Amino acid sequence: MMKKILCLLALSYMSATCIADADLSPDAYDVLLKNKDEFIVHDGCNYPKSGLGQEKVKLGQAFYNIFDSFMTMHQDMLILKECSSQNEHGWQCSITFNDYYRETKEEGPSPYSIIFSVDTSLNLDHDLLLICM
Amino acid sequence: MKTSLVPINLDTIVGDHISTLCPHSIASKDSKNHCAHFVSHVLEYNVGSTSCKNLTWNDKQLDSNGASIRVDDLFNSSLSSLKGDWVDKPKSLTECLIYVTQESNISRNSTSLRMGSSDIKHVGIFTNGRVYHYGNTKNEITCDLPDQFVKKFTRSYGRNSKKVSFFYSWFL
């Protein structure tokens, strides 16, 4: 539970940092929260133990199931988030999980990302799937 | 003289970034996993349901070919008779794909071998007696001897006493 809280705090801290940097791109976690109750078709997101099947799920449900899986399976973890502009087509956002090795202060070799797209109003773009890779 | 099935001299691109092979937006994102992406651009694979070309609206408009981006898509596209445990690779097979994952991410039965979608998986190209693969930590194409590759990923993936498994498959 403590590890989960620390990770959520890290997400909140990163949000604050993005705002402080006056970065014009939206914060991926904020975008995810805004759309968490939207149903989305996902591709490749049936992460082991996440409970996700092949059917439509809510965006927030997909994220939290994968997040929970990482919390139980990994030790130290980095969570990276980003949104990149698609010009008049809005934004592509992603949240990436990766191992972090304290001894070497290095990232792990196998980052895992969930990727989704939103329009310029930050509403989910249902023409593009939620991709996990 | 034996002709290689790999269309690029991989020695000439060791140290290069994935963006030298891929014109799509994902290539500029170092936080993403590019190991299958690298293999698929080199060998021109586009299997599975997703490629680097269909991740964004902008990429879809480009006049370019997409490449697969997931290790399990490559592994599961290979016929069961043409893949197996790395230790069982036929000696005569001098070029193939090499995969690594935790054993818990593999489903085995008498007729099939399938890889799941766990994040803990990696793929490279075995040719010239070496393994060429994309290092997501240093974000560059890298090269290891097979023994080094096995040692490196046994250490990375084998934490907490997890069993790490290596596989080969013929080129798709």
Give phi and psi for A78, each to the nearest 5.
-100, 140
Q: Does B118 touch chain A (CB under 8 A)?
A: yes
Tokens 């939207």: give the residue.
Answer: A38
As for the ipTM of the complex, it is 0.92
Give residue A47's pLDDT.
Answer: 84
Tell me whether B31 touches chain A (CB under 8 Å): yes
A:B CB pairs within 8 Å: 92
Over chain A (133 residues), the average pLDDT of each successive run of 10 is: 46 45 82 96 86 81 92 86 93 95 90 96 94 95
| pLDDT for residue B107 is more than 60 | yes
Hunting for tokens 């008779």 — which residue is that? B81
* pTM score, whole prediction: 0.90
The pLDDT value recorded for residue A11 is 54
- The structure tokens 């070799």 sit at A109
Range name among A3-7, A118-122, B24-28, B48-52 with the lowest pLDDT average: A3-7
For chain B, the straight-line distance linking the first and the last C-alpha, in angstroms and rounded, comes to 23
Q: Is B43 an 8 Å CB contact of chain A? A: no
Interface test mutation site (partner A, options B26, B30, B31, max chain A beta carbons within 10 A): B31
pLDDT at A2: 43
Could you state, in order of their start, the residue ranges of all structural domains in chain B? Answer: 11-169
* Mean pLDDT confidence for B25-34: 96
Q: Do A133 and B70 touch (CB under 8 A)?
A: yes
